[in-house]
Chains A and B, each alone.
Chain A
Amino acid sequence: MTKYKQIRIALNNCGVIDPENIEDYIARDGYMALGKCITEMTPQDVIKEIKDSGLRGRGGGGFPAGLKWEIASKNHADQKYVVCNADEGDPGAFMDRSVLEGDPHAVLEAMAICGYSIGATKGLIYIRAEYPLAIKRLKIAIDQAREVGLLGKNIFGSKFDFDIELRYGAGAFVCGEETSLIHSMEGLRGEPTIKPPFPAEKGYLGKPTNVNNVETYASVPIIIRKGASWFNKIGTEKSKGTKVFALAGKVNNVGLVEVPMGTTLREVIFEIGGGIQNGKKFKAVQTGGPSGGCLTEKHLDTPIDFDNLVAAGSMMGSGGMIVMDEDNCMVSVAKFYLDFTVEESCGKCSPCRIGNKRLFELLERITKGQGTMDDLQRLRNMSNVIKDTSLCGLGQTSPNPVLSTLDNFYDEYLAHVKDHKCPAGECKDLMKYFIIAENCVGCTACARVCPVGAITGEKKEAHLINSETCIKCGACMERCKFDAIIIK
């Protein structure tokens, strides 16, 4: 078992079975877990098994799944719902999409198991409309499961009925937040409401609703089949099992990675990921998507689990992992994520609606060399207030990229503000192109390629770049054969 770093639980059937053929799934013990639950276990047994397994929500929060199910099971109502959150929205993350495309039945089976345990007969998958292939395969899977009687009435000859429908999201990031997701499914504006009440008390159409994400559900059938004690041996003390990451950025082997909790960032990036592209130097890794933070060299040997990442100033999130090298400007990275949250804020609460915009504007000023030391102070204060006062998880975490880069890369901010320089050379406004007179032979190649006529000089004499007109396109530098053009 120790031969490889990766163990595939959620991705167990991905890349192995034909997702459009239920027989492939059944051949790999598919629906055995559901059968076991319905025929051999009481709903309480199922909940106990999930609780004992230590499975925590894989969507970001890390709330114990079994506890969530238990709360929903204890709230009595004539109708309850099981909802699968497939509104994967972190930039660069595609774990859930891959599970739905590669192993849709695992999610259906898990939802039915959840339905059995909490007393729900209806399941809903909230999936973004931008996932057409996942939608297609889910539809096929649902049809096939209905056809053989694994969804529908009297499943496994019992009194348990369960069926699943799809609900499409329009791709708003905030709809990954569970109250927003429920409002969106109800046909209302996708914006959060204050919790409590939690969905487990008052969810979809006011009924008790259990919301988990795709990866959480995908881990459930194996837990039931192999037992809680098998699952909770994998991972760390407080974070059990495995986590799927979408490894992206400046790493050689980008792709999906599923590792046991407790694996270090170094193992993921340098062993599985094959290290940094082009032999460059590792600078930072961003985990947790727009809500997470940037971790540095000193965090590389931190074992990855829910609590360690939070302690390090980032979070697990849904599993996006973006690796950055020495060419990435960390102020620009923070700006990139802020741009995303500004775009995706629903606009309901003022700190998120306006505060994030103001953060973005400040970062933009800094990347243009217009920032002041006061601005850095304000950046921190505004970030703290937005975290402290926002209504939902989106606003409460949106300043994290700013705060973590301020903490870990303060020098880089200082360089932008005090020296008006971008050490990584990414901020165009802070770059200037120069011609080294000694190297220039006056071939005029650069002047001819300049699209704005910023380069002047006589033939066979050293040329000059007018930095006022220069648009920093870099065409001259690419053309120069004598290494006469440099960036300062």
Chain B
Amino acid sequence: MEKVKLTIDNKLIEVEKGTTIYKAAKQLGIDIPVLCYMNLEDLGIENKPGGCRICVVEVEGRRNLAPSCSTDCAEGMVVNTHSIRVINARRTVMEFILSDHPKDCLTCAKSGNCELQDMAVKLGIREIPGQEYAAMSTYKMDFSPSLIRELDKCIMCRRCEMMCNDFQTVGALSAFKRGFEAAVGPAFEMDIEDSTCTYCGQCVAVCPTGALTEKDHTREVINALSDPTKTVIVQTAPAVRAALGEEFGLKPGTLVTGKMVAALRRLGFNYVFDTDFAADLTIMEEGTELLGRLTKHLNGDKEVKLPILTSCCPAWVNFFEHNFPDMKEIPSTARSPQQMFGAIAKTYFADKIKVKREDLVVISIMPCLAKKYEAQRDEFKVDGNPDVDFSLSTRELAHLIKQANLDFKSLPDEDFDKPLGESTGAAVIFGVTGGVIEAAVRTAYELQTGKKLERVEFEQLRGMESIRKATIDFNGTPINIGIAHGLGNARKLLEDIKAGKSEFHAIEIMACPGGCIGGGGQPLHHSDSSILKARTKAIFAEDEAKVLRKSHENPYIIKLYEEFLGKPMSEKAHHLLHTHYFDKSGKIEIS
């Protein structure tokens, strides 16, 4: 690789050709401020429109200042990152940005976690000259079941647009209008609900300001908790425990399962359960469905649809309903763990504790914003009463805990309640890319071959590569498995299936980078991809620490089938645990 030598702030450095000034400076310990720039290195996701102009530096001999995020180093370059000219320009540009940004920081959802606020602090902005007569660009607010768009706070960093278009290939967000009126949103300034948005929440996950936030449901949950006539139960998704600690200053990757349970109990939930229980149940249903389809296929049935696609991820479900409605027979009909939990809680468990359906409130804690939308889908309601009443994100749970004056770090470790709180290691790994299919393989292998797995870890299914392929030997029958995280990667696998080129028997798809651990409802990673890696590690650590690591070994699952469901794919199971999909391709109407 060709090298170039240059000096930055009087320090000499040699870097590979093609390195940007920003990255070279970083190697020297010089932290040039960036705002629109974002880099999730391990995932190959980079946003560098060169739009905010905060990262400008002075390059000797150059007419104007250079954006360090998108200017490559050149041989002999002399760079100054903090000359008077640079500092003045940076401040003035920041004043421009702030002059068109609401000043309601005190009540903003992003306050304390806002990259724009941090930048204002870093650059020492104390006043905005001329603010009193500066016009502001204003837009209508947009509310949806999952997220809220407040474009007055949009600074045109284009991160959301990049995630939505390049990474997810959803195409719901793009820049509209021009000049001072420009902002990012659905075409023709439609509401997000009328767009092809899948509610994956990746736009929210990367938004540096309060322009994109989740729809907050904490107030509804507090109301339910303080209603003496209601029994309120909670389920927590696997990825939450690997990230919640970050909101309380714990190192990324710190597992806080026990403290989380303790906190939820202190918040007043009558029962603290685990979505992992439902994940085990999902494996029983989905695994059985997979084996059923596979057996038919291997027996030469031409009608059977393969590959089977996982259906745990609600953003992914929305994605294929919008984009591949003609293939809606291919995904597994199994509901997601959140919805399986809700259905079992409001039947089996409600009967057990003798509480009427309408008096039982089911709350879920999810790393995800699409779960909010999923919870209110009509097919998951009985006489208007939803199986899951409200879904909170990991971030919202942290807010609740703080509001309840709990000192999270010093809480004791506590266990989930029974019966819906027991789970296996297979369920925990639902939180990372490849985890669902690994859990399915652990069970399907043993059920199909009748042999016991020597080793439950399938390393070939793990990793961060965007699309992964592996072949698992099922007692002489090779089973081809595909894994994709990110909807853009999923699209590639779907196009292959459509074209008849797919060789897979089963495919796992998760919408978010790294799987649920990188979900739109998780603590903000602020473009540090090492955080996602640490969370992944934590999830696998929790799996390893479990005594039971295969879903079909969960004693409470076995009991649930004995007492209530009969067997996987039984009529009752079908009614409560399976679903069907809709064609949403024609939903877009332009008024």
Contact = CB atoms under 8 A, between A and B. Distances in A.
Interface of A: 172, 174, 189, 191, 193-194, 196, 342-351, 353-358, 361-362, 365, 375, 378, 381-382, 385, 387-391, 396
A347 B244 CA distance: 37
A347 B133 contact: no
B52 interface: yes
A172 B49 CA distance: 20
B285 to A, nearest CB: 44
Most B Cβ at <10 Å: residue of A349, A353, A362:
A353
A388 B130 contact: no
Contacts of B97: 350, 354
Interface of B: 49-53, 56, 64-65, 67, 70-72, 85, 88-89, 92-93, 96-97, 99-100, 129-130, 133-135, 155-156, 174-175, 177-182
Nearest to A190: B178
A388 B64 contact: yes
Contact of B96 (A358, A375, A387, A396): A358
Contact of A342 (B49, B71, B156, B179): B179
A353 B182 contact: yes
Nearest to B180: A357
Given A189-B175, A350-B96, A350-B97, A342 B180 contact: yes
13 contacts: A194-B67, A194-B71, A348-B175, A357-B134, A357-B135, A361-B130, A378-B130, A381-B92, A382-B92, A385-B89, A385-B93, A388-B89, A391-B67
B51 A345 contact: no
Contacts of B92: 351, 355, 381-382, 385
B77 to A, nearest CB: 14
Contact of A172 (B53, B85, B178, B180): B178
Nearest to A189: B175
Given A189-B174, A382-B92, A348 B49 contact: yes
Contact of A347 (B53, B85, B179): B179
Given A354-B99, A385-B89, 20 more contacts: A189-B175, A194-B71, A345-B179, A346-B178, A347-B180, A347-B182, A348-B51, A349-B53, A350-B53, A350-B93, A350-B96, A351-B93, A353-B156, A354-B180, A357-B134, A361-B134, A381-B92, A388-B89, A389-B53, A391-B53
A389 B71 CA distance: 13
Nearest to B161: A189
A5 B135 CA distance: 49
A174 B175 CA distance: 15
Is chain A's binding surface mostly helix, strand, loop or mixed?
Answer: helix
Nearest to A191: B175
A382 B156 CA distance: 20
A385 B93 CA distance: 8
A347 B133 CA distance: 21
Kindly name the residue among A191, A344, A354, A356 whose own CB sees the greatest number of chain B CB atoms within 10 A: A354
Nearest to A344: B179
A196 B70 CA distance: 10
A173 to B, nearest CB: 10
Nearest to A392: B50
B156 A396 contact: no
A347 B99 CA distance: 15
A346 B130 contact: no
Nearest to A370: B133
A196 B18 CA distance: 11
A389 B64 contact: yes
Contacts of B99: 354, 358
A291 to B, nearest CB: 14
Count chain A CB atoms within 10 A of each CB in B53, B85, B88 and give the residue with the most: B53
Contacts of B70: 194
A189 B180 CA distance: 16
Given A345-B179, A355-B96, A378 B129 contact: yes
A304 B130 CA distance: 39
Given A342-B180, A358-B134, A349 B88 contact: no
Contacts of A387: 64
Given A351-B53, A390-B53, A362 B130 contact: yes
Nearest to A375: B130
A343 B179 CA distance: 6
Contacts of A172: 178
Q: For A174, A344, A362, A391, which residue has the most chain B Cβ atoms within 10 angstroms?
A: A391
Contacts of A196: 72
A342 B177 CA distance: 12
A378 B130 CA distance: 9
Contacts of A344: 178-179
A354 B97 CA distance: 7
Given A345-B180, A347-B178, A385-B88, A358 B130 contact: yes
Nearest to A377: B129
A171 to B, nearest CB: 12
B474 to A, nearest CB: 44
